[in-house]
Copies of this chain bind each other. A is one copy, B any other.
Amino acid sequence: MGENIGAAARGMLNFGLSDLRIVAPRDGWPNQAAIDMSSGALDKITPRIFNSLQEAVADLHFVIATTARPRDMVKPVFTPAGAIAETNTRHDQKTGFVFGPERAGLTNDDVALCHAILTIPVNPDFWSLNLSSSVLLVAYEWLKSRDQTPELMTPTGNSEAVTHDALEAFLNRLESELQSGGFFKSPDLKPTMVRNIRSMFTRGNLTDQEVRTFHGMITALIANKSKVD
């Protein structure tokens, strides 16, 4: 189906892959439905069309068949991350991933042609993945294995994380203003309350700018109180 080819091309290019090979497309090629569905990916990718899987993988060294069901063949079975890790060890080899048509999947003869199997772990009660989803997940794992983005970062824009010193000055001012305002009813409980307030502010990973904003808020709240008085 053209739509599946277009969506697959888009998913590949989203994660930096562009060597798309199509075996015997049902509706011929080029295919307007595929181009429409690709959101521009097929303007940048020129797929190669083959008559058979054998021809499509002829120049490759290592070929992985994507299948949902186990086949009765003794072949390594990888998860997506495992398959990408395997291909990454094959430095000088051209490797390829084979995906079957949406409903039927790959035939046993197709799978026999390949060196290994990739099976995506899914919900056993709703396991049928869209063809382009399978392609997307493999491409995603491919880029992920090369990408240096940390799993967590907190960009602080033009500001910087507040220094301990500046936060301390703010907390001391807050404590003193709260004292003046009669916040600490019981002197016995004050040390605990101060520690708890301190936890609220240290946990937030505040920036320098944010602590200045808190200073401004205190100033505004004090001003309000003066007016009421």
Contacts and interface: CB of A to CB of B under 8 A. Distances in A.
Decide if the interface of chain A is mainly helix, strand, loop or mixed: loop
Contact of A140 (B130, B137, B151, B153): B137
Contact of A14 (B41, B129, B143, B153): B129
Given A121-B149, A136-B137, A143-B122, A155 B11 contact: no
Nearest to A140: B137
A182 B146 CA distance: 50
A167 B86 CA distance: 26
A188 to B, nearest CB: 31
A151 B121 CA distance: 10
Nearest to A72: B157
Interface of A: 7, 10-11, 13-16, 39-41, 44, 70, 72, 74-79, 81-82, 85-86, 120-123, 126-130, 133, 136-137, 140, 143-144, 147, 149-157, 159, 207, 210
A79 to B, nearest CB: 5
A-B pairs, 8 with minimum CB distance: A82-B151, A16-B123, A13-B126, A121-B149, A121-B147, A82-B152, A76-B154, A79-B151
